[in-house]
């Protein structure tokens, strides 16, 4: 039975898609069966996985709105190492069309639940806003991964997102929880970074992953080649740290499963 994680932050430019793509690839390298769901109409996760969003005959839009079969829409991002539910600008229209549907918050959950035995991890790259697509991701997921920069407005945005998660958990998905906070574009030389980092651990403790994702040129270059950084340059700092993050996530999952068994 797969674990479904939504990678979400209502603030843009925090490394959300970078984290989704590279975490999916890193989990795949550690011999997990992985599905990446591109739920952002910009289609950046699709392009970053080596799939041309402009040449798609079918996308996640068709599965959510028209009920097209999963296997018809899903593609193999072979070089990246995982399966992909791709997206493009068509997904913009899904926002309005979902509002007119019954059980609209559960469309993605219904689609993914039927595939849970096929994958170990399903990673959902959410759009950078709280809309019906993001709500679908939070209803479908059991854990939320929150990438964030250690900057001035980050804590305020984080508080708002956590409140949203609590609301979804209360009304639509009681299994939902914050899986962890990922510090991205991390620069330990910056005094503000150090202060925000201190406040993060003070308020959220073990929810914050120990692994940080530093700024890295190779990490920034990889999407233009349609590859996760671990496939583009596996010796780069970006690749090493995302692989370390995947390891930390796997260890936490194992510990949680062990505690539940006891």
- The full set of domain ranges for the chain reads 3-261
Cα–Cα dist 206/202, whole Å: 10
Tens digits of per-residue pLDDT, 131-188? 999 999 999 999 999 999 888 777 777 888 889 999 999 999 999 999 999 999 888 8
CA distance 145 to 219: 19
Token output for 242: 């995302």
- Average pLDDT value over all residues in the chain: 93
For the domain 3-261, what is the CATH superfamily, name and number? P-loop containing nucleotide triphosphate hydrolases (3.40.50.300)
Give 52-66 pLDDT, tens digit per residue. 999 999 999 999 999
Helices 154-171, 191-204: inter-axial angle, 10-degree rounding: 30
């Amino acid at each position: 039975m797969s674990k479904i994680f939504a990678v979400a932050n209502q603030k843009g430019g925090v490394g959300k898609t970078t984290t989704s793509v590279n975490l999916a690839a890193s989990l795949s390298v550690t011999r997990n069966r992985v599905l990446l769901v591109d739920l952002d109409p910009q289609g950046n996760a699709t392009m970053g996985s080596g799939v041309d969003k402009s040449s798609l005959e079918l996308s996640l839009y068709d599965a959510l709105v028209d009920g097209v079969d999963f296997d018809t829409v899903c593609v193999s991002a072979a070089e990246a190492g995982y399966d992909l539910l791709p997206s493009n600008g068509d997904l913009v229209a899904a926002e309005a069309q979902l509002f007119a549907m019954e059980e609209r918050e559960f469309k993605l959950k219904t689609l993914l639940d039927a595939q849970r035995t096929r994958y170990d991890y399903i990673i959902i790259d959410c759009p950078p806003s709280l809309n019906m697509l993001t709500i679908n991701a939070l209803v479908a997921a059991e854990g939320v991964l929150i990438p964030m920069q250690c900057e001035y407005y980050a804590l305020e945005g984080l508080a708002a997102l956590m409140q949203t998660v609590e609301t979804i958990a209360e009304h639509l998905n009681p299994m939902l929880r914050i899986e962890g906070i990922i510090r991205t574009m991390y620069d330990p030389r910056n005094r503000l970074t150090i202060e925000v980092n201190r406040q993060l651990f003070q308020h959220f403790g073990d929810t914050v992953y120990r692994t940080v994702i530093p700024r890295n040129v190779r990490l920034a270059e990889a999407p233009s080649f349609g590859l996760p950084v671990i496939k583009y340059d596996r010796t780069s700092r970006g690749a090493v740290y995302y692989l370390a993050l995947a390891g930390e996530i796997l260890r936490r999952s194992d510990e949680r499963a062990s505690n539940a068994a006891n």
